[in-house]
Amino acid sequence: MKESTRRVAMVTGANGAIGQAICQGLAERDYEVVMVCRNAGRGSQAARAIEEAVAGARLRTEIVDVSRRQEVAAFAQRFTGRLDVLVNNAAIAPRRRTETPEGIELEFATNVLGYLWMAQAFAPALLAAAPARIVNVASYWAGDLDLDDLEFKQRDYNNDTAYRQSKQADRMLTVALAKRWPPSQLTVNACHPGDVHSTLSHSLGYGGHETPEQGADTPVWLAMDPAVAGVTGKYFAGRRQQTCEFARDEKAIARLVAICEGY
């Protein structure tokens, strides 16, 4: 395939179990993959593993902490070339409440604000390659959203509650973002990847029973399959569209977006 026509996908959290599997799945389908990682050593290790598994894999590793808006903005400014797909996958579930250097609760900054900041920062590049796609890796494990205490300044911090809240927020932001662009140019969808055996699942205390490859299946499918061309603002699991109860509350979605855009 000519370099000018090779599709490019960007994946955040690319060195995690699911993230690496998503990158490999896209590389196997001849995408050039931009692997966005927070840790350089782990990012390089993940890239080497993919290169060993996929002959001719084209990978680029970028070191970016998506919990920090300035890093996302700087990354977008230096990024060159086309971009067809953005997969927001980076997620954490620390057992103790911590904050970014900017003073934002870390799980909210990574799992929620990071998704929004990446989508906003790379929308111009995606639109330039239209039709393009954003895939937000969310979860069925979602709920407990408190719009008056998104950073657990009033509630006792619990990483499971914080994670559920973040995944509800991701599904709600997906609905809001999908309305910003014509579906013929840029679609935005969310999905549940499955219960994967990973560092994150162990942090939440449930371990996971699916392989990373199983977890990557629906995100990769949403990223490239013609069956979902033009479909936007939806939530999927197991390659099937699911009813999302959080998509109905338009007032709550609008308030969440307003809060997030205030950071």
Tell me the per-residue pLDDT of 62-118, one tens digit each, with 9 for 90 and over: 999 999 999 999 999 999 999 999 999 999 999 999 999 999 999 999 999 999 999
Nearest to 107 by CA among 153, 155, 165: 165
The H or E element spanning position 253 is: helix 250-260
- Indicate the pLDDT class of residue 4, thresholds 50, 70 and 90: low
pTM of the predicted structure, to 2 decimals = 0.95
The domains of the chain, with CATH numbers, are 8-260 (3.40.50.720)
Rounding to the nearest 10 degrees, give the CA dihedral for residues 47, 100, 157, 115: -50
What is the side-by-side order of every strand in the sheet holding 235-237?
59-63, 32-37, 8-12, 85-88, 132-137, 186-192, 235-237, 240-242
Concerning whether 163 is annotated as a catalytic residue, the answer is yes
The mean pLDDT value of the chain amounts to: 94
Q: In this structure, how many other beta carbons lie within 10 angstroms of the beta carbon of residue 100?
A: 16
Q: DSSP assignment, residue 48?
A: H
Tell me the per-residue pLDDT of 152-200, one tens digit each, with 9 for 90 and over: 999 999 999 999 999 999 999 999 999 999 999 999 999 999 776 556 6
Q: Which residue among 163, 206, 235, 263 is the active-site one?
A: 163
Nearest to 195 by CA among 11, 20, 17, 13: 17
